[in-house]
Structure 1
Amino acid sequence: MTTLTTALKAGPEAPAILHRCRELVAPALAEAVGGMHPWMREMADYALGRGAAGGAPAAHSQGKGVRQALAVLGAEAAGGPAEAGVPAAVAVELVHTFSLLHDDIMDGDAMRRGRPALWKAYGTGPAVLAGDALFALAVQTLTTASAPGAAHRLSAALGDLVRGQADDLLFAHRPWTGPEAVSVAEYEAMAEHKTGSLLGCALALGAHLAGAPEETAAVLDRTGRHLGVAFQIVDDLLGIWGDPAVTGKPVHGDLRQGKKTFPVLAALATPSGSALEGLLTARDDTAVVRAAAVVEQAGGRSAALREARRHLTVAHGLLASVQPAPRPAADLRTLLSALSRRTI
């Protein structure tokens, strides 16, 4: 079992896998976005890292293309050609981008991938509208894929994503301790919906478009959901201890915002976490630095790593159970492990 801090040695390295899939999907993604209203297209290009504010061409971070890769590899794992997963890859990438636009507005995050978030560059109203346009385009993309049930699978995943986002927002209004406090189990359900639903959809939708039976697609959906929980937990770790040069966000950002993250919830559940509540409420520079130290001392950081590894183990087991084609299976194992350690 690969840990979250060491790379899986078998198969191609994760960046090469992601690059191959992005290159395959890029023309179809560009064609889809190219048909949008000009202003929406300008904002979509900005959000996708292909343009600067105002519409000038620019080469900026376009993200890793994780969901695109999972869709392509899902098609290959089901025995189909990589091209079969391209419509799924375009659709999930558009939904993911739409969700990030709205997520930044709801969380008040001013930066995304090292530059102003879309709502800071264009305004809140335009950013909301651009997100709506991307979602509509995602659904439209699948209506031309000639695969019954594809759009339904995507809409079901979106419903779960919205449910998870709603829970995440509601968590902010609940106390840190006491009977109304957010439990670790509630957090994991939120993470599965908010993050895992679209990762699972990407894998399952790619396999679906390649002609896989529903049973196989369902197992791949569960694989992605477990990956999503691990992914979200590691994201929480980065939100407290991540390098701003890598994450594009300030260190201790989640503590300053008072977010209910896995390391914090795990630490609060221990006797050593009793000192946390006051620090989490204060949120000034001194308090957040001290809070990060207390979370680590109380075991929140190590508990988060253990739980992320556990979900990753389950994901690997589910993937093996569908007996995917050997090469995409190796690529998926590499990618699953790399995504959970988040150093690619």
Structure 2
Amino acid sequence: MNKVLVVGGGAIGLLSARLLAEQGYDVSLLEKGDVGRESSWAGGGIVSPLYPWRYSAAVTALAHWSQDYYPHLAERLFEETAIDPEVHVTGLYWLDLDDEPLALAWAREQGRPLQSVDIAAVHDAVPPLGSGFSSAIHMSGVANIRNPRLVRSLRAAVLGMPNVTLLEHRPVTGFIRESGRIRGVLTEQGEIRADRVVLAAGAWSAELLATLGVQLPVEPVKGQMILFKCADDFLPSMVLAKGRYAIPRRDGHILVGSTLEYEGFDKTPTDEALASLKASAIEMLPALADAEVVGHWAGLRPGSPEGIPFIGPLPGHDGLWLNCGHFRNGLVLAPASCQLLADLMAGREPIIDPTPYMPAGRI
């Protein structure tokens, strides 16, 4: 049981492959296009759910473990690859929340450093903030990770492992099923066999499972982003208001996102979204009215019920494991999700209770 195929080369697939290879498996990672160029590349990289108090305990457990682990992961990847994922600790301000009391109660219960802040103090801390806000809460220690660099670093790391084979531009079209067991995958270039298969194909996971007659409740949810370039010190903290966020990178790039669109697999950026995102950006940070939009793109999140991913073996299909359906929090939850998968596959004591994520009973 030493050969594993990982289907999907985003952050979840890359990190799964890395951890499984560290356990001694012979791993082949298959990606339909270029590694890391789908949802993992397209997102913002905030190392927190946007509204963590609105999620179930299952998402919270994965998020907390990952948040604590990310600085260590980024440091190791930088040492191994010389590509810095840029974990940038800025803190995060939420403005004019309708459910601020719920957020503060959640923080007290979870022991998280979230507190109410006078809006005048926010303007002192974030000088470019617009004047149209009346209340705020702040969580110190929240970081963002430069996700395109994270996936580049992960790609370089797995390429440096002698027991990992990376197969890009290798679309998987189905599975090899023999005597009730999954024995590998079908690709346009032929069969690839293995002892186990891990499905980490994000928004495309349901389409692949449908070839087995399995209905996985994961669907593509389009998100559009825009990117500005400002002075390095323009925005000292992340800001979130009315469902939109502004994320500063270390070099002065400011990401603003994102839309939430149920448009199937269409990834076309639209003028309507561009206008809406620019309006949100200028409302939060009026000086952006004079800044150039240097990027505008769309990605497809793997939408799932309550945003709870599917992690574990698929009943009735021995040899097939899932690590998919992370919705808006794939980057946030990746370290914990992949460690949990690796623990389960190795028969070790898992880092957290795996029950809420198990495919059994949910599909």
* TM-score of the two chains, using structure 2 as the length reference: 0.27
More helix by share: 1
More strand by share: 2
* TM-score of the two chains, using structure 1 as the length reference: 0.28
